[in-house]
Chain A
């Protein structure tokens, strides 16, 4: 598969096995490409390997075999420090269970990636985080403790945090799975808004057919293989 110059992410024959004695082949050879600005739904039955795939792409885990190229680098070749740097700047995460740090305020949670990257606080990161909180409609909640926010609000803070580094790719693992329909819709609309506003590519794991249908492309996993891929839909 030739690498196209504008390819953001490219997977070739990616496999992932778990276990030493009893080996589980969770991913059995994934080939796929994600281009900048895509809005992609990753679907599939429970246990098909969606979260596993996201962890590999998110540089949180390493593939057993195959090749993952992200932003032009073969991620298997990167050392610990380079991996951390690429993850911090290149990828945003939104998890199912919001995963905010409870000891910090909403604003500080959003600032966290900038803080880790720059090593110390500065004015600019403050302003940038505050602006993003405004964008997710939580400007007034900036100084709330993470634990004092509702589930939907927490997830919106997590989205702001995922976007604060302006990463080219955001990975969202069932971002609405834990929310009621209304706040789920709100969160989903927010992802779409950011996709359109900043051209950020999104890979969203979802069980919800209706939401998947709202995405530009649907990749369906079954038993660790890509069962179907609707391909990149050119939006009018």
Chain B
């Protein structure tokens, strides 16, 4: 064991009460950081996962039709009226080519063609406005994991089979195997059989969504062979925005990332992270000041001993290291306690914040990476906090401190 470490350990052991107090302080600090990080990260991950559970990372659709200037006649414009064309459901031109091009982009996991359009769902006297989603089940299920939401029946979209949300099922009194009518513009539509019921975790979606096959939607919205949107899943959740820009650049289509469509959520998440980081920064500062003050007191108390150490041939560098090592040991040991404390707090908290069914509302983001990061952080804080006291110790004049203590 190196000389400096031997002396540092002895000094820490000797200053029993001080050492325990500051270790507790560091531990509490690191514990708060662990708990906060686990809580905020876990909460945000679950929010994002919940948001992305029912939507693709990027949704690609055709450009809006250009407004036309209507000229009543003649060369002179007397009264120009800008008329926005009625936004009917339009297909992406040559969508297969666009899909292939998107699929080839790096960072793209899956591309799925879909159609979304408005319709009325009716049964007997009851009716409800819904959004019909025509999907290609094999690819769509790799983007939105419908199986996870299934509460009854099967995910069968063949022919005139539809999968509907729980709220709509309740509202129209539908269960698996029951029939209802879907009516789109004009007399398009047909009678569908409920094959499955979904709970998407969102009352509005559960009320509004009806999933049918792509082919059924194509005929319902008179879009034979076409699709209105391409849904894309990427490898990186937060890479969605650049991916959307790239898709838009390559295909000339409109591409919206989930980050763009959920801007409010992202702003909320970002300010939440910022306030959590601010709290952590102040905790780190408090921990650093605590370690620094304990070591500063120790340097003063031990000035005579530092003089003896110098007299018996200890160099300034060695004296400096003795105190830097103390700082790092306080940081490391404190963080070990803090990790245990923080993890325990997080687990207790997730016990308290349970869903009615006893499952945790969200998973605390605990893990080796967080522990390691906190330990390294505490080590760094310990060393930095020790710099000033260590420097003061190294600079002491041995003759003076031996004479006057």
**Which residues of chain A have a CB within 8 Å of any CB of chain B?**
51, 55, 58, 60-61, 80-81, 84-85, 87-89, 93, 95, 99-104, 112-113, 115-121, 161, 165
Q: Which A residues lie within 8 Å of B318 (CB)?
A: 116
Contact of A58 among B10, B305, B311 (CB under 8 A): B311
Taking a contact as CB atoms under 8 Å apart, the answer to whether B312 and A103 are in contact is no
Contact string, B305-319, partner A, CB cutoff 8 A, digits 1/0?
101111111111010
Q: How many residues of B contact A (CB 8 A)?
A: 26
Q: Which B residues lie within 8 Å of A103 (CB)?
A: 10-11, 13-14
A-B contact count (CB 8 A): 75
Given contacts A51-B403, A99-B402, contact A104 B315 (CB under 8 A): no
Taking a contact as CB atoms under 8 Å apart, the answer to whether B312 and A60 are in contact is no
Given contacts A81-B315, A120-B2, A121-B6, contact A101 B305 (CB under 8 A): yes
Given contacts A95-B402, A102-B14, contact A116 B3 (CB under 8 A): yes
Q: Closest 5 interchain pairs by CB? A: A88-B313, A61-B399, A103-B14, A60-B399, A55-B399
CB-based nearest A residue for B311: A93
Taking a contact as CB atoms under 8 Å apart, the answer to whether A80 and B6 are in contact is no
Q: Which A residues lie within 8 Å of B313 (CB)?
A: 84-85, 87-89, 113, 116-117, 165
CA distance A119 to B317 in the complex (A): 12
Q: Which B residues lie within 8 Å of A84 (CB)?
A: 310, 313-316
CB-based nearest A residue for B305: A101
Q: Which B residues lie within 8 Å of A51 (CB)?
A: 403
CB-based nearest B residue for A89: B313
Could you tell me the distance in whole angstroms from the C-beta of B307 to the nearest C-beta in chain A? 8
CA distance A119 to B313 in the complex (A): 11
Could you tell me the distance in whole angstroms from the C-beta of A96 to the nearest C-beta in chain B? 10
Given contacts A51-B403, A103-B10, contact A113 B1 (CB under 8 A): no
CA distance A51 to B398 in the complex (A): 13
Q: Which B residues lie within 8 Å of A58 (CB)?
A: 311
Does residue B272 face the partner (Cβ distance < 8 Å to A)? no
Interface-centre pick from B6, B13, B398, B402 (highest chain A CB count, 10 A): B402
Name 14 A/B residue pairs within 8 A (Cβ), A-sorted: A58-B311, A60-B311, A84-B314, A89-B313, A99-B304, A101-B308, A103-B11, A112-B309, A113-B312, A113-B313, A117-B313, A119-B2, A119-B3, A121-B6
Contact string, B1-22, partner A, CB cutoff 8 A, digits 1/0?
1110010001101100000000
Does residue B397 face the partner (Cβ distance < 8 Å to A)? yes
Contact string, B290-315, partner A, CB cutoff 8 A, digits 1/0?
00000000000000110111111111
**Which residues of chain B have a CB within 8 Å of any CB of chain A?**
1-3, 6, 10-11, 13-14, 304-305, 307-316, 318, 397-399, 402-403
Taking a contact as CB atoms under 8 Å apart, the answer to whether B13 and A116 are in contact is no
CB-based nearest A residue for B10: A103
Taking a contact as CB atoms under 8 Å apart, the answer to whether B14 and A60 are in contact is no
Prevailing SS type, chain B contact patch: helix
Could you tell me the distance in whole angstroms from the C-beta of A129 to the nearest C-beta in chain B? 12
Taking a contact as CB atoms under 8 Å apart, the answer to whether B10 and A104 are in contact is yes
Q: Which A residues lie within 8 Å of B315 (CB)?
A: 80-81, 84, 116
Q: Which B residues lie within 8 Å of A80 (CB)?
A: 315-316
CB-based nearest B residue for A83: B315
Taking a contact as CB atoms under 8 Å apart, the answer to whether A61 and B3 are in contact is no
Q: Which B residues lie within 8 Å of A161 (CB)?
A: 312
Given contacts A55-B399, A95-B402, contact A116 B11 (CB under 8 A): no
Q: Which B residues lie within 8 Å of A112 (CB)?
A: 309, 312
Could you tell me the distance in whole angstroms from the C-beta of A141 to the nearest C-beta in chain B? 19
Taking a contact as CB atoms under 8 Å apart, the answer to whether A115 and B3 are in contact is yes
Taking a contact as CB atoms under 8 Å apart, the answer to whether A60 and B3 are in contact is no
CA distance A84 to B316 in the complex (A): 8
Q: Which A residues lie within 8 Å of B310 (CB)?
A: 60, 84
Could you tell me the distance in whole angstroms from the C-beta of B202 to the nearest C-beta in chain A? 64
Taking a contact as CB atoms under 8 Å apart, the answer to whether B6 and A115 are in contact is yes
CA distance A99 to B398 in the complex (A): 13
Q: Which A residues lie within 8 Å of B14 (CB)?
A: 102-103
Q: Which B residues lie within 8 Å of A104 (CB)?
A: 10
Q: Which A residues lie within 8 Å of B308 (CB)?
A: 95, 99-101
Q: Which B residues lie within 8 Å of A118 (CB)?
A: 3
CB-based nearest B residue for A164: B312
Interface-centre pick from A51, A85, A87, A165 (highest chain B CB count, 10 A): A87
Could you tell me the distance in whole angstroms from the C-beta of A104 to the nearest C-beta in chain B? 6
Could you tell me the distance in whole angstroms from the C-beta of B339 to the nearest C-beta in chain A? 29
Q: Which B residues lie within 8 Å of A120 (CB)?
A: 1-3
Q: Which A residues lie within 8 Å of B10 (CB)?
A: 101, 103-104
CA distance A183 to B308 in the complex (A): 23
Taking a contact as CB atoms under 8 Å apart, the answer to whether B6 and A60 are in contact is no
CB-based nearest A residue for B403: A51
Q: Which B residues lie within 8 Å of A60 (CB)?
A: 310-311, 397-399, 402
CA distance A165 to B311 in the complex (A): 13
CA distance A104 to B305 in the complex (A): 11
CA distance A95 to B312 in the complex (A): 12
CA distance A161 to B313 in the complex (A): 11
Contact of B312 among A61, A81, A88, A119 (CB under 8 A): A88
Taking a contact as CB atoms under 8 Å apart, the answer to whether A93 and B312 are in contact is yes
Contact of B314 among A55, A116, A121, A165 (CB under 8 A): A116
